[in-house]
Structure 1
Amino acid sequence: MAVSLVISVVGLFADQRLVTGELAWHKPLKFAISNGLYGITLAWMLSLFPRWKRTLWWMGTFIAGALLLETVLITYQAARGTKSHFNLSSPLDANILLAMGVGSVVLWGVTLVIGFLLMRQRLIDRPLAWTIRIGVLLAVAGMTYGFVMVTPTPDQAAVMEATGHSPYIGAHSVGVPDGQSALPVTGWNEVGGDLRVPHFVGIHALQVLPLLAIALQAMAARYALLREQSTRTRLVVAVSLGYAGVLAVVSWQAFRGQALFALDGSTVSAVGVVVVATLIAVLAILGKAKGGAEQDRSDDEDKAPSVTA
């Protein structure tokens, strides 16, 4: 992924060709960063297992192979100046799309198996264990949108019905064609819905949620309310459920053909419900922790020996 990142950065400056409205090397750059983060996170997660070392080694190898295959093919298509995804315009392009599909199935399936193994694994730190478990499940949910994207659009379905073949199958966008006005950096459609949004939010739960557990553990040394492991566990579960709520909202947006920042009243209400519910849960957990700490102090004072004259 590091090699792909360097090649993509050079390509952005040296090659000004556009593919579906963006620079040809923009996509391999994004995939290099995303896949690199995924690989680093997964390697760290697998290191936490005290058992199943050989099984996990094979799983990690399958995932590394799938990521490598996808990255090489995306980079190759960028060098050709053509689309890597949804492209059936030639036998070569169709075979490349099929190979990437096989890699995606391997990546999805092995990650799901790792998630089930994590459900049975008792890690030392419970808050971290829960964020990893939930993060894996949300990542698998996010990956599922990759399969949804290759569903033919209505226009493509009409062409296939009329001619028996379409040069392209599937799209990132919902309600509008790909290549419309896009957000900077991410390239997400800012005119209509974009399935890459829930895809991104789901996959990167694998980094965001464990980082939350690590941050809370670091803060526990300074804040007494966070010193109890049970409190931190409740907090990470509450925030993880809130994150899942955000994933549900952006998924709903995308399927309705609504751009990420083109919020209507229904979306604003849904976001508000998720945010308020998460805040209430967090405040309730902290309030309970504070009450428990005060009760412990009171009990300690009652047990302290009295001094008499």
Structure 2
Amino acid sequence: MPLRWHRPLMLFCGALGVLAVVCVAGLAFDDRVLMGEPIWLKPLKFCLSFIAFGTVIAWILPLMRRTPGLARLAGNLLVTAGIIEIVLIVTQVLRGRRSHFNESTPLDAAIFGVMGLTITFLWITSIGIGVLALRQRLADRPTTTALRLALVLSVIGMAVAFLMVGPTPEQSQALADGTFDGVMGAHSVGVPDGGPGMPLTDWSTTGGDLRVPHAVGLHALQAIPLVAVILSLAGRWVPALRDEGVRVGLIRVAAAGYLALVALLTWQALRGQPLVRPDAAVLGGLALIAAAVAAGSLAVVLARRRRPVAPVLTPVPEAGVR
């Protein structure tokens, strides 16, 4: 029942839902554009991402029955970091200023610095939640496996964001020649931020974009548990999937494939290549990942079928007993 989930996180997600509605209204009635996108789009995306992340974490934390106090504390820390992050992003929207990578004034630099600290704190707290999950069983074996791997992948996806905060070659040159314009770091690779982007996500369509692997990795927190749910439901019609060992194996294969996908998307972005224009190397890597996942899945199922079934032994009556 949702009422048994981590309550502060659920309240936070509910408040973000309200804020998301405000952001949608902002998109409709505020025509300001910042860095090539409507100014209210960034807080809307952060609201939706935090809701997706926070809801799953709110479900996981009460399952940690061996460490309930630490689980509650971790959830409260996530709420605190999330509130600070969202408040600062909205503050910059109201000021008409860029929130990320902005060091053009002392106040902007301070806001971006605090945002960096809160996101780092959120990342470290997420690692702590992952460690707690690895030390105890959360539910049945397939669900526990899915949640553990999802937490690990999500932490990896968060870490991709650290690749965005370093100076680009152009920014390094500007620092050297004294023409620094106050922007340090970038989402895009090979092109300036604020260029042509995909609808809704605004991921670059002309260069690499590190937000792609960051988002894909972060939302493993939803994708991998969904795989576990689908396998469980499919077990009603596919006898092989009724075996917990088979489902655990398939979840591990799916998680390995997901990790490879995040790595491939990171490589693509760092090469300055847009998601929508993959070259032969990226397409080949994608095909290789798909083939490896298919082969691994088949191996899991076949290994179960070949496993010898222990014979059922019938007790032999003792001598003289009828």
What is the TM-score with the length of structure 1 in the denominator? Answer: 0.92
1:212 aligns with 2:227: yes
2:190 to 153, 175, 191: 175
Percent identity of equivalent pairs: 39
2:252 to 225, 237, 240: 237
1:252 aligns with 2:267: yes
Number of the residue aligned with 1:273:
288
Alignment of 1:71-82 (within 5 A): 71-82=86-97
1:150 aligns with 2:152: no
Query: 1:62-116: CA deviations, max 9, x gaps?
Result: 1111111111111121222221101111121111101111111110101011111
Question: How well do the aligned residues superpose, as a CA RMSD in angstroms?
Answer: 1.9
The one-letter code matched in structure 2 to 1:70 is E
Residue 122 of structure 1 and its aligned partner are, at CA, apart by: 2.1
Number of the residue aligned with 1:94:
109
Residue 166 of structure 1 and its aligned partner are, at CA, apart by: 4.1
Number of the residue aligned with 1:59:
74
1:9 aligns with 2:24: yes
CA distance in 2, matches of 1:80, 1:214: 44
8 A contact 2:206–2:274 mirrored in 1: yes
Number of the residue aligned with 2:203:
188
1:106 to 98, 113, 121: 121
CA distance in 2, matches of 1:185, 1:129: 33
CA distance in 2, matches of 1:47, 1:123: 9
Residue 29 of structure 1 and its aligned partner are, at CA, apart by: 0.6
Query: 1:110-137: CA deviations, max 9, x gaps?
Result: 1011111211112331111112111111
Unaligned runs of 5+ in 1: 304-309
1:27 to 27, 35, 42: 42
1:223 aligns with 2:223: no
Residue 165 of structure 1 and its aligned partner are, at CA, apart by: 5.1
8 A contact 1:4–1:71 mirrored in 2: no
Unaligned runs of 5+ in 2: 1-15, 315-322
8 A contact 2:62–2:71 mirrored in 1: no
Equivalent residue of 1:87, what SS? coil
Number of the residue aligned with 1:307:
none
Q: Which runs of 4+ in 1 moved over 4 A?
A: none
1:141 aligns with 2:156: yes
When structure 1 is superposed on structure 2, of 269-278 and 76-85 the one drifting more is 76-85
CA distance in 2, matches of 1:77, 1:124: 42
Number of residues of Structure 1 aligned to a counterpart in Structure 2: 299
CA distance in 1, matches of 2:163, 2:303: 42
8 A contact 1:21–1:179 mirrored in 2: yes
2:60 to 45, 50, 59: 45
